[in-house]
């Protein structure tokens, strides 16, 4: 995080933990307004990897599950990078700005992904680097988010998920959410001005509330504890446009394609409610009394406290266990997992 931006956030009342905004003095109120009202959120807890060079697009196309040829100044995509066995090392959002592509992913994943991805560059004319300080990142969400952003910046605002526009130095990306939701990337001065313009009508919230919005939107984020735990279809990534079955080869492509056309998906991601106060951690297990003890019924992808009580979580679960409704957290309280409808339709035909 740039020192000037950190000082700006502290002046705005931010309580911080290792360059991550925890809250602005009233976490319970922030949790409530995050799902009902208009909010802004510093996104410095997320990281960026920059890929540039004349062969950057071709290199990324040969590595990722999404169709990189569709990513440009007006369109971004979610995606994943897999091992040869089809297990996802990370999930990300890929966008283009100027002469470079950017992978936005949890900051905890940047060092590992950058090191491993760089091993595949070989003679390709592409440079990969940590771009965490390249921009000031800001999130905006709320029922009036589109209007507020248009009033603050003017010009066209993306109206569909994954669409992008550019206003002067600020890149605007529309992302899925219950309310209009945006990621914005720009220089320090422009983002400070935008913060002041939006702060009149929006409440600032901490990083946990942005993660809660991702969970409620059914968007999977992988952390070190869940890296290489799932194939893309297990996290519904194909439902979000993050997997192309028409592009060329990439690591794990045969496994992913075989699952799509020949396999039978036994696990997929669900949105669940847990009646607990302390959220489980990514990688924690769910159990089912009808399943063998050595076979977890599910794995937590991410979890955050919900303003209506308890915890909202995304979990990759055995379909049979989820449908039976008997899964519980594998911990002393044994909290039951109640499946909640996802905000997008799950098409069984997409994963035969």
Please check whether residues 169 and 121 belong to one and the same domain. yes
Mean pLDDT, residues 11-37: 93
With respect to residue 42, please indicate whether it lies within any of the assigned structural domains: yes
Residue 302, judged by CB atoms within 10 A of its CB (0-12, 13-18, 19+), counts as buried
Residue 347 has a pLDDT of 58
- Asked if residue 348 has pLDDT above 70, the reply is no
With respect to residue 351, please indicate whether it lies within any of the assigned structural domains: no
Is 183 a known ligand-binding residue?
A: yes
Residue 290 has a pLDDT of 80
- Asked if residue 45 has pLDDT above 70, the reply is yes
For the stretch 121-140, what's the b/e string if a residue is b when 16 or more beta carbons lie within 10 angstroms of its beta carbon? beebebebeebbebbbbbbb
pLDDT tens digit sequence for 194-251 = 999 999 999 999 999 999 999 999 999 999 999 999 999 999 999 999 999 998 899 9
Supply φ then ψ for residue 189, to 5 degrees.
-65, -45
| Number of domains forming the structure of the chain | 2
Residues in Cβ contact with 258 at an 8 Å cutoff, skipping those fewer than 6 apart: none
Q: Angle 234-238-243 (CA atoms, 0-180°, nearest 5)? A: 110
Tell me the residue range of the domain where 78 lies: 1-220
Residue 306 has a pLDDT of 96
For the stretch 273-296, what's the b/e string if a residue is b when 16 or more beta carbons lie within 10 angstroms of its beta carbon? bbebeebbebebbbbbeebeeeeb
CATH number for 145: 3.30.1360.120
CATH number for 242: 2.40.30.160
Residue 317 has a pLDDT of 94
Please check whether residues 311 and 208 belong to one and the same domain. no
Residue 291 has a pLDDT of 75
Residue 351 has a pLDDT of 39
Domain's final residue, options 188, 220, 252: 220
pLDDT tens digit sequence for 57-75 = 999 999 999 999 999 999 9
Query: Given its phi and psi angles, is residue 156 left (phi above 0), alpha (psi -120 to 50 degrees) or beta?
Result: beta
Pairing between β-strand 39-42 and β-strand 203-205 as defined by DSSP bridges:
parallel
Q: Which of 269, 325, 261 is nearest to 299 (CA)?
A: 269
With respect to residue 38, please indicate whether it lies within any of the assigned structural domains: yes
Residue 171 has a pLDDT of 97
Number of neighbouring beta carbons within 10 Å of residue 143 = 13
With respect to residue 347, please indicate whether it lies within any of the assigned structural domains: no
pLDDT tens digit sequence for 305-314 = 999 999 999 9
Domain's final residue, options 194, 220, 246: 220
Please check whether residues 27 and 3 belong to one and the same domain. yes
- Asked if residue 352 has pLDDT above 50, the reply is no
Mean pLDDT, residues 80-101: 96
Please check whether residues 79 and 203 belong to one and the same domain. yes
Q: How confident is the model at residue 349 (pLDDT cuts 50, 70, 90)?
A: very low
Please check whether residues 64 and 136 belong to one and the same domain. yes
With respect to residue 346, please indicate whether it lies within any of the assigned structural domains: no
Structure tokens at 236: 């519904």
Structural contact between residues 328 and 336, judged by C-beta atoms closer than 8 angstroms:
yes
Task: Output the average pLDDT for the chain.
Answer: 93
Residue 301, judged by CB atoms within 10 A of its CB (0-12, 13-18, 19+), counts as buried
Structural contact between residues 70 and 79, judged by C-beta atoms closer than 8 angstroms:
no
Please check whether residues 260 and 235 belong to one and the same domain. yes
With respect to residue 26, please indicate whether it lies within any of the assigned structural domains: yes
Q: Angle 91-19-276 (CA atoms, 0-180°, nearest 5)? A: 65
DSSP E strands in the chain: the ranges are 15-16, 21-23, 39-42, 46-52, 77-82, 88-97, 100-106, 127-130, 136-141, 164-167, 170-175, 181-186, 203-205, 267-274, 285-287, 298-305, 311-318, 328-329, 338-340
Please check whether residues 165 and 184 belong to one and the same domain. yes
Please check whether residues 11 and 112 belong to one and the same domain. yes
pTM, entire model = 0.94
With respect to residue 195, please indicate whether it lies within any of the assigned structural domains: yes
Please check whether residues 148 and 293 belong to one and the same domain. no
Q: Which of 333, 331, 43 is nearest to 173 (CA)?
A: 43
Mean pLDDT, residues 315-333: 87
pLDDT tens digit sequence for 135-172 = 999 999 999 999 999 999 988 899 999 999 999 999 99
Please check whether residues 245 and 209 belong to one and the same domain. no
Cα 21 off chain centre by = 17
Please check whether residues 180 and 87 belong to one and the same domain. yes
With respect to residue 352, please indicate whether it lies within any of the assigned structural domains: no
Q: Which of 91, 75, 183 is nearest to 137 (CA)?
A: 183
Please check whether residues 228 and 187 belong to one and the same domain. no
- Asked if residue 341 has pLDDT above 70, the reply is yes
Structure tokens at 259: 């699952």
Domain's final residue, options 186, 220, 254: 220
């Amino acid at each position: 995080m740039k020192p000037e931006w950190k000082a700006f956030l502290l002046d705005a009342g931010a309580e911080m933990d290792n360059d991550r905004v925890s809250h602005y003095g009233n976490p319970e109120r922030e949790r409530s307004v995050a799902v009902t009202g208009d909010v802004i959120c510093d996104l410095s807890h997320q990281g960026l990897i920059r890929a540039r060079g004349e062969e950057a697009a071709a290199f990324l196309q040969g590595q990722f599950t999404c169709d990189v040829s569709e990513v440009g100044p007006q369109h971004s995509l979610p995606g994943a990078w897999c091992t040869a066995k089809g297990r996802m090392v990370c999930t990300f959002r890929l966008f283009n700005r100027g002469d470079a592509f950017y992978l936005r992913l949890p900051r905890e994943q940047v060092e590992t992904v950058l090191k491993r991805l760089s091993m595949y560059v070989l003679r390709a004319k592409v440079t990969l680097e940590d771009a965490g300080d390249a921009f000031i990142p800001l999130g905006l969400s709320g029922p009036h988010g589109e209007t507020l952003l248009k009033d603050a910046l003017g010009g066209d605002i993306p109206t569909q998920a994954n669409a992008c526009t550019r206003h002067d130095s600020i890149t605007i990306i529309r992302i899925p959410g219950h309310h209009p939701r945006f990621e914005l990337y720009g220089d320090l001065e422009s983002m400070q001005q935008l913060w002041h313009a939006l702060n009149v009508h929006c409440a600032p919230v901490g990083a946990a509330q942005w993660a809660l919005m991702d969970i409620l939107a059914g968007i999977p984020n992988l952390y070190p504890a869940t890296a290489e735990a799932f194939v893309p279809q297990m996290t519904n990534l194909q439902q979000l446009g993050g997997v192309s079955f028409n592009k060329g080869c990439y690591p794990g492509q045969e496994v992913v394609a075989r699952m799509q056309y020949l396999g039978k998906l036994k696990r997929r991601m669900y949105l669940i409610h847990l009646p607990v106060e302390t959220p489980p951690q990514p990688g924690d297990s769910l159990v089912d009394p009808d399943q063998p003890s050595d076979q977890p019924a599910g794995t937590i992808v991410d979890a955050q406290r919900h303003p209506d009580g308890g915890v909202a979580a995304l979990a990759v679960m055995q379909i049979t266990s989820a449908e039976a409704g008997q899964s519980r957290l594998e911990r002393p309280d044994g909290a039951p997992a109640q499946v909640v409808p996802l905000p997008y339709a799950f098409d069984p035909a997409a994963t035969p």
